[in-house]
């Protein structure tokens, strides 16, 4: 497995990480816990050293899953988790509002450390920017945790450039995690140039478009009633039908490279910058192995040019999030 560094930090991880949310939350049905422990350990054996979770996933159960599965590999893997949500009704596991007050950050890190069975969080992201708390206060709170040895690196998620700069001035930001793929290219406008200037790594989530770019989903696909994608406008049947043009493009390139559409999508991301580390999620070993195969897949300048020209003719239809969630992005 190739490795990459997150920007100017000394945090070196596998070129491809593993997003673990779907092992406990959001996509349905939720898989068997023991099977996910086996999958996580298989990922390590395959060379994956970068794992992504959050306290809200479950809530809490995803961190517990990673803590149990990865404790034998402590010191050999990097685990990123996130703070910033306030539980409204913990018994019903509902989360309704943000809370990045320094006192709350100091409180919730203790729970994450316990669930993850770690002495220090390798990478601690603010899950979404809290408009009620100055980002300088958030960065200062994480800086204190770093000085106390409870956190090693600070990260942000779905933050706007000005917010990134303000946070970075207080405590260096090692990584930004935001959505980025051929399905959503908004970060190219302002975020990527700023990250390159500041020496911050980029961790794209949903690099396969929540599964759409694998070519396994079309307008006839049905999801479990509790699956998050049921409320995502981009997954309306009409939008899925319109967006097949993007999958067709990936299929064309995949045939040329003896690969899969998903591998082309991941290889395209890896080719954009050497400090980009995608974190595709999966609950299946064969998909994990397929995703890992993208790391060794080389796209030539001609390949990348063909993708760019064809993609420029395609307009992806549908919002990537329901309105209330989209409003929490790019703050």
pLDDT (tens digit, 9 = 90+) per residue, 172-184? 999 999 999 999 9
**Spatial CB neighbours of 244, under 8 Å, sequence gap ≥ 6:** 218, 219
Count of residues making up the chain: 331
In this structure, what DSSP letter does residue 31 have? P
Q: Which of 62, 298, 311 is nearest to 183 (CA)?
A: 311
Residue 57 falls in the annotated catalytic set? yes
Q: Which domains does the chain have, with CATH numbers?
A: 3-326 (3.20.20.100)
**DSSP labels for 100-149?**
--HHHHHHHHHHHHHHHT-SSBSEEEESS--TTS-HHHHHHHHHHHHHTT
Q: 52 pLDDT band (50/70/90 cuts)?
A: very high
Least confident of 37-46, 125-134, 207-216: 207-216
Which member of 27, 57, 60, 180 is catalytic? 57
DSSP, collapsed to helix, strand or coil, labels residue 163 as helix
Q: Which of 207, 320, 216, 210 is nearest to 271 (CA)?
A: 207
pLDDT at 91: 43
- pLDDT of residue 28 exceeding 90, the answer is no
Average pLDDT of span 66-92: 87
pLDDT (tens digit, 9 = 90+) per residue, 184-197? 999 999 999 999 99
pLDDT at 95: 59
């Amino acid at each position: 497995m190739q490795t990459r560094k997150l920007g100017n930090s000394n945090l070196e991880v596998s070129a491809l990480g593993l997003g673990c949310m779907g092992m406990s939350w959001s996509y349905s049905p939720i898989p068997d816990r023991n099977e996910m422990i086996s999958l996580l350990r298989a990922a390590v054996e395959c060379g994956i050293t970068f794992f992504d979770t959050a306290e809200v996933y479950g809530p809490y159960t995803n961190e517990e899953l990673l803590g149990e599965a990865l404790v034998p590999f402590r010191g050999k893997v990097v685990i990123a988790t996130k703070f910033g949500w306030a539980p409204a009704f913990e018994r019903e596991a509902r989360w309704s509002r943000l809370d990045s007050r320094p006192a709350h950050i100091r409180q919730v890190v203790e729970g994450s450390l316990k669930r993850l069975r770690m002495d220090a969080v390798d990478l601690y992201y603010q899950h979404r920017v809290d408009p009620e708390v100055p980002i300088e206060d958030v960065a200062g709170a994480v800086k204190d945790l770093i000085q106390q040895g409870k956190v090693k690196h600070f990260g942000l998620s779905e933050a706007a450039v000005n917010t990134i700069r303000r946070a970075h001035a207080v405590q260096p930001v090692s990584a930004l995690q935001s959505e980025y793929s051929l399905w959503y290219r908004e970060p190219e406008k302002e975020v990527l140039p700023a990250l390159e200037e500041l020496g911050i790594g980029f961790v794209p989530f949903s690099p396969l478009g929540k599964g759409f770019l694998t070519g396994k989903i079309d307008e006839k696909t049905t999801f479990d009633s509790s699956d998050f994608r049921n409320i995502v406008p981009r997954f309306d049947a009409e939008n899925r039908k319109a967006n097949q043009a993007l999958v067709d493009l990936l299929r064309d390139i995949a045939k040329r490279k003896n690969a899969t559409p998903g591998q082309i999508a991941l290889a395209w991301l890896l080719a954009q910058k050497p400090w980009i580390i995608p974190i595709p999620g999966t609950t299946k070993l064969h998909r994990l192995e397929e995703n890992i195969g993208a790391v060794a897949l080389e796209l030539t300048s001609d390949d990348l040019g063909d993708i760019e020209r064809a993609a420029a003719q395609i307009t992806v239809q549908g919002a990537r999030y329901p309105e209330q969630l989209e409003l929490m992005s790019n703050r």
